[in-house]
Chains A and B, each alone.
Chain A
């Protein structure tokens, strides 16, 4: 595909994609602590609110005696799930959250908010009051081991709930078998799988565990809300809220408030990684602030923030292939965690019927997924999981390569269908270019398992992986540019999540107008229509595409304004009423039509005589506003059902050293050769890649979730016991970035971050080194155990 919009095939970039991109527009605020996140806000006369959090994996609150808590000095109120205001609250952030009561007396995971909210003068009093609540807990059966929860006769943890899992319009509930116990079964079949396996030349079977990893918002999620009458009209109170960044629309629906009466000035969300949902602490403060007539702050604590960025999944694979390595049949059985109530379908059924298998020539595929209700955690939205089960194909290709004594890259190339459809047998140019660059980057020299020992005695292993680089953001984009006092302004409401997406959008504006980046004024405005919805690098290229189209509208308006100003300079006789206003010298455009003018290189000029023109900053003294609303062209996720069309690809390469004496695994090199179509802002792209590798390393080397088998309580809900990679752990990620311009985002760019994340490259590389499979995370004790030494 390609950018089919205006100037999609632009060459000779002066701003976009340069080596020394400008600093982030709010980097100073973030570096120096000026940036405020929800948890940072402190207002005079502010109350604090705290939820009761469940100490059990699954429990019902049968009753609460709050007499002692209410008697505590500083306690303002204690609300329960039976409170009328609480009962009326309906979450509006995402539709899959609306099937749960906003707060009730059932907690289906340890740490879940349940039953009661304490409001007090300070946080310590809230905590003390929570301790004084006398709760009558009714323990309910729990599932924290998916395999146990899937067994016949396992206790049912959500009796009466049988809404079949769906994935918006990609997977309907129709035809799915009824729920059995805790388990929903979903099957997707393409081709005659039985016949294909019957004709198999070779067969492999292998198991994988996709490790879960936990939500990583660095900032404890929090909000502070207050109500004030409009300062000028004295009209009914307006809602002011900080810490629920970018969700004015959801709050508007929840509180039945017009959008224009909700003010949220803060830009900074913290790290969200496609966990876009609001938590209760971010939703409840308007209600409480209105009720008590004072600002109210509510904040989560770290121990309450261990939900899922990726669900756990156990996979059993059966793959048939020819003597050359061509895959002819795939049978994929997955046992997936459905998560707690209100979990999104990403990470389980959202991965069905699209993804890696559709990139191959194989047309006989059966995917069966058993999705188990659990009491482990919530998948708030999509998380930073590896989309679409890509790790199964990576592992399959590796095992086939091992069996045939071939390089996995060659097996991957053999199996990829062509760029235009599953019936296309041509090579995929982007894949071949990535491989060429990757082999050069890594001095790639594949060896069979256990065949290479390093000089220091450790065993060397490697892994190769490919993925698509799809743009999947599909929201309608609203763009606006204002020309004011000769300056082009780009109003945006952010939010700031670390992707530098707003800057990339401004770079596109500068590129299209031919002006320096610094001459585009990024105006943060909490009510601006422009929003980098979609997040991540992928949230950059869609809005930037729409912004590019908006620039074309501005260009036309500039031409008309330049002609109008040339013919009607309109300078007043007296300057008294125009103090400070600049009236530029009109351009030589009298009698011209807009079609005779061009806007480029920072100037408006005559096409016939390019030397005759004026700077954009001198077009007119008037204000000009250009707006544009549209859906960017659909990406391959839509048009190619995520895998049937292959435009931009990326490849990853990992080398490890395994110490057979200690079980230590060291990442020696990690390389990315990726086709992003077009680099927009170079360092933000590189940082997105670093981040994806950081996630991938974490879940394969360090991160684990430990549940007490008896109580189902998650035990390591703190940053000392739940280890994520640190400065001394992460590898330097070597990168070779290709720009084939074949994506459908701005200038052919596509986003990167999701498609790099993986859960098994280190695991495969360890097998290539030592010949053993280790279940992630591959901690030294597990490696030694796999080697038979522990």
Chain B
């Protein structure tokens, strides 16, 4: 087992300590200072700690750092920093698709992965994609509205996702 691993986080090559019991979530928080992936259930049941690994949404509380060798990790911080995804952030803010806000980065990260693979999602696509994310405030009805608007805006902005 290597003591450190190399991976790519938000487009930047990084090295992380890879203690055998260290989760990706803990590494992001304690080694990288990235706290957008939130700790809620600690057992892969709530989606709040979602990050994107090699294009697929995964639960960082249930992934060990040592499994991430050579992987490309996108966190909410990376998504927010990419102007391409501003319409998604804007739509979430516009539609109040959050209350206390704790679970919101997890939802938004999952939504980003959905739009990545399905640039024109239907409402049912949105609901199914977000079925693994828990919001304790019950904001569910607002998410699909935000995602659909974001997808529309992204598609209409110079080719957006399809371009």
Contact = CB atoms under 8 A, between A and B. Distances in A.
Contacts of A639: none
Interface stretch (B63-71, B72-80, B114-122, B153-161): B72-80
Interface stretch (A26-34, A129-137, A574-582): A26-34
Contact of B100 (A302, A498, A694): A498
B93 interface: yes
Given A30-B104, A727-B143, A695 B130 contact: no
Given A220-B40, A271-B99, A40 B29 contact: yes
A26 B100 CA distance: 10
Interface in B1-60: 21, 29-30, 33-43, 45-46, 48
A219 B41 contact: no
Given A34-B36, A219-B38, A302-B42, A693 B138 contact: yes
A721 to B, nearest CB: 9
Contacts of A727: 127, 130-131, 133, 140, 143
A36 interface: yes
A31 B140 contact: no
A480 to B, nearest CB: 25
Contact of A270 (B89, B94, B102, B128): B102
A301 B97 CA distance: 26
Where chain B touches its partner, the secondary structure class is loop
Interface stretch (A153-161, A181-189, A468-476, A728-736): A728-736
Contacts of A220: 39-40
A691 B137 contact: yes
A683 B136 contact: no
A124 B102 CA distance: 24
B45 A720 contact: yes
Given A33-B36, A33-B77, A124-B21, A499 B99 contact: yes
Nearest to A730: B140
Interface string A206-228: 00000000001111100000000
A33 B130 contact: no
B142 interface: yes
A568 interface: no
Contact of A718 (B39, B43, B139): B43
Given A728-B127, A730-B141, A27 B92 contact: yes
Contact of A498 (B21, B75, B105, B137): B137
Given A270-B100, A691-B99, A728-B128, A33 B136 contact: no
B139 A687 contact: yes
A27 B35 contact: no
A726 B138 contact: no
Interface string A1-44: 00000000000000000000001101111111111110110100
Interface string A249-276: 0000000000000000000111110000
Contact of B96 (A23, A36, A268): A23
A504 interface: no
B108 interface: yes
Given A217-B136, A726-B134, A727-B131, A496 B100 contact: yes
Nearest to A721: B45
B30 A32 contact: no
Contact of B30 (A42, A496, A718): A42
A724 B98 CA distance: 17
Contacts of A687: 96, 99, 137, 139, 142
A594 interface: no
B104 A31 contact: yes
Contacts of B136: 216-218, 271, 724
Given A218-B40, A219-B40, A302-B40, A684 B101 contact: no
A469 B45 CA distance: 35
Nearest to A23: B93
Contacts of A217: 136
A131 to B, nearest CB: 14
A218 B138 contact: no
A719 B96 contact: no
Contacts of B113: none
A31 B75 contact: no
A687 B143 CA distance: 12
A216 to B, nearest CB: 4
A24 B100 contact: no
B46 to A, nearest CB: 5
Contact of B41 (A694, A718, A730): A718
B140 A24 contact: no
A683 B41 CA distance: 28
Nearest to A698: B138
B100 A269 contact: yes
Contacts of A732: 141
A166 B22 CA distance: 48
Interface string A341-385: 000000000000000000000000000000000000000000000
Contacts of B46: 218, 719
Interface string B141-154: 11100000000000
B108 to A, nearest CB: 6
A27 B77 contact: no
A88 to B, nearest CB: 32
A690 B93 contact: no
B96 A683 contact: yes
Nearest to B146: A31
Contacts of A55: none
A240 B100 CA distance: 23
A76 interface: no
Contacts of A32: 36, 76-77, 79-80, 89, 105, 108
Contacts of B34: 33
Nearest to A499: B99
A683 B48 contact: no
A734 B77 CA distance: 35
Given A27-B93, A727-B131, A732-B141, A218 B77 contact: no
A271 B137 contact: yes
Contacts of A720: 41, 43, 45
B100 A497 contact: yes
Query: Which of B21, B94, B101 has its CB near the most chain A CB atoms (within 10 A)?
Result: B101
| In the A-B complex, the 6 residue pairs with the closest CB atoms | A33-B36, A694-B138, A30-B101, A498-B99, A32-B80, A498-B100
Given A32-B77, A271-B136, A302-B43, 7 more contacts: A31-B80, A217-B136, A218-B136, A268-B102, A687-B96, A691-B99, A730-B141
10 contacts: A24-B96, A33-B38, A34-B80, A40-B35, A124-B21, A219-B40, A269-B100, A271-B102, A687-B96, A719-B46
